[in-house]
Chain A
Amino acid sequence: MSEVKRVLVAMSGGVDSSVAAALLREAGHDLVGVTLHLWDADGAQQVGRCCAPEDRDDARRTCEHLGIPHYVLDEREAFRKHVVDPFVAEYQAGRTPIPCVSCNRTVKLTYLAEVARRFDATHIATGHYARLQRAAGGSLRLLRGRDDDKDQSYFLFGLPQPTLERLVFPLGELTKTEVRKAGRRLGVPNADKADSQELCFVPDGRVGDFISRQGSATRSGAIVDREGTVLGRHEGVANFTRGQRRGLGLGGGGTRYVLRIVPETAEVVVGDESQLYERELSATDAHWVAGRPIKSFQGEVRIRYRHRGALADVTPRGDGFEVRFDEPQRAITPGQAAVVYRGDEVIGGGFIA
């Protein structure tokens, strides 16, 4: 970090951002903690996960412990408009969206960049497991976090260079175990708090229930096989994603998997697992971290957060790109992000059509 004056730390109330703040504090930086209030958790979900008042209290407690100011800023309106509403619409259209990508790009980091400017902060730190490296040509390269299991570079491919220029990832070189250890060493109050696994605004992971709570009419329909034979009915397309096996409620006849969802008719098409494998995908709305490649290249492509990545030929096309994998991949799911890597470096990404 050069010419660091003041660092704004995005504090969710979780361990990672708390330790990120503590490490920067230990290094002697002038810090400001900011918690974005993005969503009001409802009912029983108010306890112990993001979006709960408790998380904001945890963030404040950490900042008090570190002796730095802490502010909660309201971004609920933007979060609903740019993250939750599109999330609901995507599911209703039979896709499986990845809201963290658009949240980082459109809401969180864009807004924090504005907040940083108004706070006269030169940098923004987050608890992401990712790294930044200055390339020979002067632009920044986005790299995987050192902890393979926790790496979050997948969610960050959409960030433009001016945002990357301001970002600091204090946890990029650490493993989760090291982070917790550092948290305990530095007396971070929530160093042993459990990790959040699900989307921050759907902490129980029950997307279908969440969508009906948002007042969006359930799109129920038929469950059919590839020939169109009706095998049963389902309670709403939002309950399904490609490759899913559970929750179909079909008796007998071997294990069946969701192959695709037909948006027009709300039909869920099921079949054998072997039918889930495909070699190609096309992605739209691409963002290239250090500029759009001119021609095809060989890279590793991850098709979901927990996908380890597979070798493929990547061809930029229009505002998107085409991917041809060396080996067929299971359940390439519309709405998820396809993120292209070369080694540890994120070249770019887009959304699976």
Chain B
Amino acid sequence: MIYLDHHAAAPTPDAVRLAMEEAAALAWANPLSTHAAGRASRQLLEAARERVAESIGATAADLVLTGGGTEACNLGIRGLAEGCSRLVTSEVEHPAVAQSVNRLKSDGLAVTGLGVLAGQPPSPDELARHLGPQTLVAIQWVNHETGTILPIDRYAEACREHQARLFVDATQALGKLPIDVSALGADVVALAAQKIGGPAGAGACWIRRGLDLKPVLDGGSQERGRRPGTPDTLSMVGFGAACRLIETRLAQQPRVAALRDHIENSLLARGAVLNAGPPRTATVSNLSFPGWQGPLLVAALDLEGVCLSTGAACSSGLQEPSAVIRAMYPDEQWRAGSAVRISLGMETSQRDIDLAIASFERVLDRRSD
């Protein structure tokens, strides 16, 4: 099996699996219990928090651990929107952000969506035109489907200048770009373990010191009152272990980029059309294939042993045309329906890519017209 769907979930590295297996024997107790069993669990939980914090230049106390990236986005956006009258976002957000924003919109918040046409992010000046006090910017750092990198540090400057708040969805940036929240100037940064080889049920919100966010759920006063519910020590141990590999991941980016370029060029030569080129991460190529529906091509490649996806949301096994590609190419609607996302990671080898290209060639030859 050749796995080229790293943007959906990165494979679990051995180090992560081993750390979680070890923790499973020790960390079953409630980490908030004051007895010895609880303390053992708490110790692992806090060590994991340290690991996550270190990997993004944060202080552990400023991290709220969540049950994944979606929860982190909900918590950050809803919390920061308190007291804001308008919100600026992009038109290519992940549903975790887009739907959080939609809820606020239906609650009466004025929302502006900035276009990312053909994968070109809005300039900081364009963003600045929409900023003012009581404005929240909720935006992704790296696009999940195309890898498009948004200039978050410059957005942060613009926000500071106009006294606007900034929420950053960094779930796809973690492990692909160096992150230093202490220098970034954002108010909240959301993270997910799944994209770096940790478990799907672990995420985190970095919250700027002094900000007081209301929890999304009602319950106990865990995580300093910002996230009720018993923390999932086991998942967080996995998250922490995955964070230890971030340096390795980052060091692999040039190699990954070369592999990505290789498969991309091969497929472009066979009639594929590139969706959103640079600026983008090394890890992904989003291509549309004329004469193919994305889900059909994904299925045909799956039968060849190549795992990838259209990148779009999936309900009951049915994949809708990509909203991201639709928004990036409003005048070329065919692209969204025939888009496929090839996403790589540090585990991807030259052999994987060669075999994947061969599979693509076999499958693409079956087109009728």
Contacts and interface: CB of A to CB of B under 8 A. Distances in A.
Interface of A: 32, 35, 37, 53, 56-57, 60, 69-74, 114-115, 117-120
A56 B316 contact: yes
Interface stretch (B65-73, B144-152, B295-303, B346-354): B295-303
B299 A71 contact: yes
Which of B300, B302, B367 has most chain A Cβ within 10 Å?
B300
Contact of B366 (A57, A71, A120): A120
A56 B317 contact: yes
A69 B363 CA distance: 17
A34 to B, nearest CB: 8
B296 A118 contact: yes
A291 B318 CA distance: 39
Interface string B262-300: 000000000000000000000000000000110111011
Nearest to A54: B316
Contacts of A115: 296
A119 B300 contact: yes
Query: From DSSP, what is the main secondary structure of chain A's interface residues?
Result: mixed
B34 interface: no
B368 A74 contact: no
B12 interface: no
B261 to A, nearest CB: 27
B303 A56 contact: no
Among all A-B residue pairs, the 10 with the closest Cβ atoms: A72-B317, A71-B299, A53-B316, A72-B318, A118-B366, A118-B300, A37-B318, A56-B316, A117-B366, A119-B300
Which of A71, A114, A117, A118 has most chain B Cβ within 10 Å?
A118
Interface of B: 292-293, 295-297, 299-300, 302-303, 316-320, 362-363, 366-368
A73 B296 contact: yes
A121 to B, nearest CB: 9
A60 B318 CA distance: 12
Contact of B303 (A35, A69, A74, A117): A69
A119 B303 contact: yes
A71 B296 CA distance: 9
B368 A114 contact: yes
A69 B302 contact: yes
Contact of A74 (B297, B302, B318, B362): B318
Contacts of A60: 317
Contacts of A114: 368
A35 B366 contact: no
Contacts of B366: 117-118, 120
B295 A73 contact: yes
A290 B292 CA distance: 33
Contacts of A56: 316-318
B5 to A, nearest CB: 15
Given A73-B293, A74-B293, A114-B368, A119 B299 contact: yes
A43 to B, nearest CB: 17
B303 A70 contact: no
Given A32-B303, A117-B366, A118-B300, A74 B317 contact: no
Nearest to A60: B317
Given A73-B293, A73-B295, A118-B363, 8 more contacts: A56-B318, A60-B317, A69-B303, A72-B316, A74-B293, A74-B295, A114-B368, A120-B362
B316 A120 contact: no
Given A32-B303, A119-B300, A120-B303, A74 B367 contact: no
B295 A118 contact: no
A71 B310 CA distance: 13
A56 B316 CA distance: 7
Which of A35, A70, A71 has most chain B Cβ within 10 Å?
A71
A154 B252 CA distance: 61
B323 to A, nearest CB: 15
A115 B296 CA distance: 7
Contacts of A118: 292, 296-297, 300, 363, 366-367
B166 to A, nearest CB: 37
Contacts of A32: 303
A130 B32 CA distance: 66
B272 to A, nearest CB: 16
B218 to A, nearest CB: 30
A67 to B, nearest CB: 14
A291 to B, nearest CB: 25
Given A114-B368, A117-B368, A71 B363 contact: no
Contacts of B293: 73-74
14 contacts: A32-B303, A35-B317, A56-B316, A69-B299, A71-B302, A72-B295, A72-B318, A73-B299, A74-B293, A114-B368, A115-B296, A118-B296, A119-B300, A119-B303
Contacts of B368: 114, 117
Nearest to A75: B293
Given A73-B296, A74-B293, A118-B366, A57 B316 contact: yes
Contacts of A74: 293, 295, 318-320
A108 B316 CA distance: 20
Contacts of A117: 366, 368
Contacts of A72: 295, 316-318
Which of B293, B297, B303, B363 has most chain A Cβ within 10 Å?
B303
A309 B199 CA distance: 62
Which of A32, A115, A117, A119 has most chain B Cβ within 10 Å?
A119
